[in-house]
Amino acid sequence: MPNKLDINAFMDGLQRRNPGEQEFHQAVRDVFETVIPFVNYNKKYLDARILERMTEPDKTVVFRVCWEDDDKNIRVNRGYRVQFNNSIGPYKGGLRFHPSVNLSILKFLGFEQTFKNSLTTLPIGAGKGGSDFNPKGKSDREVMRFCQSYMTQLYQHIGPDMDVPAGDIGVGAREISYLFGQHKRITHKFLSVLTGKGLEFGGSLVRTEATGYGNAYFATEMLQQHDIDIKDKRCLVSGAGNVAIYCVEKLLQLEAVVLTLSDSSGTLYAKDGISKEMLEDIKQYKFEARKSFSEFPKNKQYKFFENKKPWHIEADIALPCATQNEIEKSDMKAMIKNGIIALSEGANMPCTSDATKLLRESDILYAPGKAANAGGVAVSALEMSQNSQRLSWSAEELERKLREIMQNIHSQCVKNGGDGKQTDYVQGANIAGFIKIAEAMLAYGIV
């Protein structure tokens, strides 16, 4: 039995067991750098090999997804569901449809989800899934046929008390509806097997907005904790999907000034700030027309920086809401030079390891994704509660609950985030998330 764990030795073993899974290695190192010192002082976790057990998913399913495109070609994609850890509740976490999807990315996301879901204090385990299918440029019918085929494989692995997926990149209301319709058709049952559903068939108010709103709430709490007001602060937001758009919506309600949004074609920059009216136009453009910013109508209120990210623009707060590793070392250097005071992650693991290192060495207040973007999964859990009770709560009630959950996550981070003059939110979130899962795993014995 080891007396002490060492991060490098632990990572050597993990890399040997999971060759080539770079994103997964990165996520585990990021979390365990702060958890290992804690575990070394708590021998019960060490003896029970909790860290080794936590990094091995409970179960992974990989399957073929065949579908027919509009030109009658047969297309083949790969589908996945990684059921990471159900110690504290049914597996819960999104489905991602994007060409970059592979096992490494899903394992990193599932691992992060374990800590995030624990932090919400709600009874939800962790999973993640998806496919390398690219919904971009596909017709509605093609997306429907793909979703039906994907669910035909997935349905035997999910259930209201087993595993309840939701959306993520490339999986929004349209995809969730097709997936739910197919599940109902195959099983002849109307079951709460997905969240993010339409309001007509068991969806929850505020679920769509929850991740973005939650991120803005968390940033506000973190700033308040350090006597800073978010009002009039200039914000850089990346992405133009579900998380980014609703993060901007809440930031505007909180009277912050949002300078940017971005997508895979580049950055849209409004030097005087994006107004509520502009945001409505952008919503229509991204969610209805599903077009890229490179074709956005020219207007003197905006500049478009092709193939550029927002991070070189002068501002006060950064809220990355697009994808993993979107902030590299040079981007972080630019932000530090420009005097950014806070960074709050809407996306999962948006900073590369090098960028995170620089960030953690700086004075910038840093809210990691597992804390700052937990609002989405929290309201998903509230959707499950409403489905069980067969009732719906009002938008006001749900927003109040969301705000309280984000405040509670913030308090847990402060409590476990060291006693320096500035809270270490990374340490706080990792340790608070870890304790609940580890205690449940210990209680179950050797399983």
Q: Which residues bind ligand NDP (CB under 6 A)?
A: 94, 167-170, 172, 211, 239-244, 263-265, 292, 321-323, 326, 346-348, 373, 376
DSSP SS3 for 155: helix
Nearer to ligand NDP, 57 or 167 (CB): 167
Q: Is 128 a catalytic residue?
A: yes
Nearer to ligand NDP, 126 or 347 (CB): 347
Q: Residue 250: how many CB atoms within 10 A of its CB? A: 20
CB of 196 to ligand NDP, least distance (A): 7
CB of 222 to ligand NDP, least distance (A): 17
CB of 11 to ligand NDP, least distance (A): 23
Catalytic residue from among 92, 107, 116, 128: 128
Report the C-alpha gap between 96 and 317 in whole angstroms: 27
Report the C-alpha gap between 328 and 330 in whole angstroms: 6
CB-CB contact of 125 with 92 (8 Å): yes
Residue closest to ligand NDP when measured from CB atoms: 241
Question: Could you tell me whether strands 91-97 and 74-85 are parallel, antiparallel, or unpaired per DSSP bridges?
Answer: unpaired
Nearer to ligand NDP, 179 or 441 (CB): 179
425 Rama class: left (phi>0) / alpha (psi -120 to 50) / beta: alpha
> What's the DSSP call for residue 43?
H
| Cβ neighbours for 211, distance < 8 A, ≥ 6 positions apart | 242, 243, 246, 247, 346, 373, 375, 376
By C-alpha distance, which of 56, 57, 1, 5 is closest to 35? 5
DSSP 100-114: T--HHHHHHHHHHHH
CB of 251 to ligand NDP, least distance (A): 15
CB of 351 to ligand NDP, least distance (A): 12
Catalytically active residues are 128
